[in-house]
Amino acid sequence: MNNTKEMSTNVDTKSRDRKKGYKTNYRKNNKNKLDFSFKKSNLKIIALGGLDEIGKNITVFEYEDEIVLVDCGLEFPEDDMLGVDLVIPDVTYLIKNKEKIKGLVITHGHEDHIGAIPYVLKQVNMPIFATRLTAKLIEHKLEEHHLRNSVKLNVVNQGDTVNFGKIKVEFIRSSHSIPDAVMFAIHTPVGTVIHTGDFKVDYTPIDGQEMDLGRLAEIGNNGVLALLSDSTNSERKGYTMSEKSIGPVFDNLFEGCKKRIVVATFASNVHRVQQIVNSAVKFGRKIAVSGRSMINMIEAARELNYIDAPDDLFIDIDMIKNFTDEQLVIMTTGSQGETMSALTRMANGEHKKVTITSNDLVIISANPIPGNEKSVSKVIDQLMKIGSEVVYSALADVHVSGHACQEEQKLIMALVRPKYFIPVHGEYRQLMAHRDTAIEMGIPKENIFLTNNGRVLELNEEEAKFTGTVPAGRVMVDGLGVGDVGNIVLRDRQHLSQDGLIVIVMTMDNQTGEIVSGPDVISRGFVYVRESENLMEDVKAFIREEIHDLENRHVRDWSTIKSTLKDDLRDFIFDRTKRNPMILPIIMEV
């Protein structure tokens, strides 16, 4: 595909061509003329998140002076991130190259793909391109952060192509657990790259919008440089069940049930909501919705006609007292056992509107995300202690995944037939499993790249190789603070949570170094002072002795006094208690 042409030797011409980004090869032909073979620049692919983790998905596609971003998601904090609300990607690289950024394209409306958008836009503004429902959900986020008027949000239809210049992005209809999901065909001068986003191959989707497998095959016939594919379910053999298989299960649970039915599911799973709606209509029940994210999602989906429901089906949560139990369905968030979610508050008897009783059938229509198993089990136990009947995935097929298993991943590879393969969206073991599937499908091992966040992969028609790294860490959001909680703060929080705190307060004469008042010892999370008076008195005596010793050695430097006191007191307390609390000396001078 290289453009080759003959021209006379000219220094200015060669210089101009180099400035254009070409690499020039020279070779003499039979006519003793110089032949110039121009190689196009490499395409750079840089994941700033989404690898070796679930969430925080954001990928850079860079060609010469153009950057197009795919997705901009958040990650929920791990157990050791005490007090942290959200984790977003480090976009230092984007800030340094913001003049190159042409736009942000979004595969679908899940939090791990759109959740970081407001935070990133405050640092780097850029136009956004998304399908209808995805754009509506992004619009809500921009309004919450007072950014709606300063950001250009473009609605794109499935099948459309957005021309950014040298890079063109085609939106291809896909299937997932949320409507309007798309794959991307990213057309560049060095070839086409397919990015699947999150997907499953559902031949009987609830909305009838089947994945455009024909277009993928057509692009595959024309040649695909690289495939980036969702690895979430790459360890699972076979196929993911169709979302439509859930409908009969709901019907069986609803049929003949005299209890009030409470269904917890992912707020974003509009297709699941539609099937709950279908069963409620079929068996003559009204639906009340609890949970802000669920309410917002249903409002957005109904506004765009993505949920087919009678006008009088949904009632306000305050109206449930006007209906009998067998006339009601309550749809709620909290399928993952989140501490402040509606279902958890119901289970703990803390919900202001809904009180769970023994006449409730609770259906948890979701599988626990890895790491949430204990939280979900705790909620189920609490609901059962109240006396309610609980149905969850271990008891009935009330959930199917939104991600492709191995046979569906093979189908995409067979249609696309990429030269290079890059597994994305998954932890390391999932990326490895996807790599093994690709090898089974005949993709050469040397053409498969397991990359890391921040690693730069450059590729063209001839070769692909890693060429460096860029910053790609985690930025933690704590309340209104973005990035002001780092590893040191987290380490302090962990220390406090495990060992507690001792604060030493005293006043010293800055001339003599003698203690004027104190020391007072304040303990939090270490021991209860009244029950450990002897220990506290011993600590005070030790401090006086230490200060006296420092005075005898004529130590007058306050930082030295503090550090010496802290170190010696730590050793003293550990010898007495085998505990290691955080020690904070506060010394005032007079």
Residue pLDDT, tens place only, 147-157: 988 899 999 99
Average the pLDDT over 84-106 and give the result: 90
Residue pLDDT, tens place only, 189-205: 999 999 999 999 999 99
Evaluate if residue 86 carries a pLDDT over 80: no
**Structure-model confidence comparison of residues 206 and 54, the more confident one:** 206
Give the pLDDT confidence score for residue 544 in this predicted structure. 79
Evaluate if residue 182 carries a pLDDT over 50: yes
Q: Tell me the CA end-to-end span of the chain in Å, nearest whole number.
A: 81
Evaluate if residue 560 carries a pLDDT over 90: no
Rounded to the nearest 10 degrees, how much is the dihedral formed by the CA atoms of 215, 221, 223, 226? Answer: 50
Residue pLDDT, tens place only, 373-432: 888 999 999 999 999 999 998 888 899 999 999 999 999 999 999 999 999 999 999 999
pLDDT class of 135 with cuts at 50, 70, 90: very high
**Structure-model confidence comparison of residues 555 and 463, the more confident one:** 463
Evaluate if residue 556 carries a pLDDT over 80: no
**Structure-model confidence comparison of residues 258 and 540, the more confident one:** 258
Give the pLDDT confidence score for residue 32 in this predicted structure. 45
Give the pLDDT confidence score for residue 527 in this predicted structure. 64
Residue pLDDT, tens place only, 296-308: 899 999 999 999 9
pLDDT class of 124 with cuts at 50, 70, 90: very high
Max alpha carbon distance in the chain (Å)? 101
Architecture of domain 43-238+402-478: 4-Layer Sandwich (3.60)
Indicate where the chain has its CATH 3.60.15.10 domain(s): 43-238+402-478
Give the pLDDT confidence score for residue 537 in this predicted structure. 79
Give the pLDDT confidence score for residue 531 in this predicted structure. 52
Residue pLDDT, tens place only, 16-52: 343 333 333 333 344 444 444 456 799 999 999 989 8
- Give me the chain's average pLDDT, please: 85
Evaluate if residue 504 carries a pLDDT over 60: yes
Most confident of 41-55, 167-181, 325-339: 167-181
DSSP 44-59: EEEEEESBSBSS--EE
Give the pLDDT confidence score for residue 315 in this predicted structure. 94
User: CB 93: neighbour CB atoms within 10 A?
Assistant: 20
Active-site pick, 230, 360, 434, 478: 230
Which tokens go with 508? 């010293």
Evaluate if residue 446 carries a pLDDT over 90: yes
Average the pLDDT over 477-487 and give the result: 56
Conformational region of residue 223, where left means phi above 0, alpha means psi within -120 to 50, and beta covers everything else: left
Q: How is residue 447 annotated by DSSP?
A: G
Domain 500-589 has CATH 1.10.1040.10: no
Give the pLDDT confidence score for residue 541 in this predicted structure. 82
| Lowest mean pLDDT, pick from 9-23, 489-503, 539-553 | 9-23
Which of 503, 509, 505, 504 shows the shortest CA–CA distance to 550? 509
- Taking the CA of residue 431 as centre, how many other CA atoms within 13 Å lie in the half-sphere pointing to its CB? 20
Distances in whole angstroms, Cα of residue 67 to Cα of each of 64, 213, 305: 8, 27, 34
Average the pLDDT over 170-186 and give the result: 95
Q: Is 230 a catalytic residue?
A: yes
- Quote the percentage of the chain above a pLDDT of 70: 85
Distances in whole angstroms, Cα of residue 340 to Cα of each of 144, 291, 333, 336: 20, 10, 10, 11
Give the pLDDT confidence score for residue 1 in this predicted structure. 39
Evaluate if residue 217 carries a pLDDT over 50: yes
Provide the CATH topology of domain 243-391. Answer: Rossmann fold (3.40.50)
Bridge partners (DSSP) listed for residue 424: 230
Rounded to the nearest 10 degrees, how much is the dihedral formed by the CA atoms of 231, 411, 108, 399? Answer: -70
Residue pLDDT, tens place only, 230-277: 999 999 999 999 999 999 999 999 999 999 999 999 888 999 999 999
How long is the chain? 590
DSSP 3-state assignment of 134? helix
- Quote the percentage of the chain above a pLDDT of 90: 57
Give the pLDDT confidence score for residue 75 in this predicted structure. 81
Indicate where the chain has its CATH 3.10.20.580 domain(s): 500-589
Q: Is 495 a catalytic residue?
A: no
Active-site pick, 110, 195, 403, 434: 403
Evaluate if residue 158 carries a pLDDT over 90: yes
Whole-angstrom Cα distance, residue 310 to residue 278?
Answer: 10
DSSP 3-state assignment of 429? helix
Evaluate if residue 15 carries a pLDDT over 50: no
**Structure-model confidence comparison of residues 78 and 317, the more confident one:** 317
Evaluate if residue 356 carries a pLDDT over 90: yes
Give the pLDDT confidence score for residue 497 in this predicted structure. 64
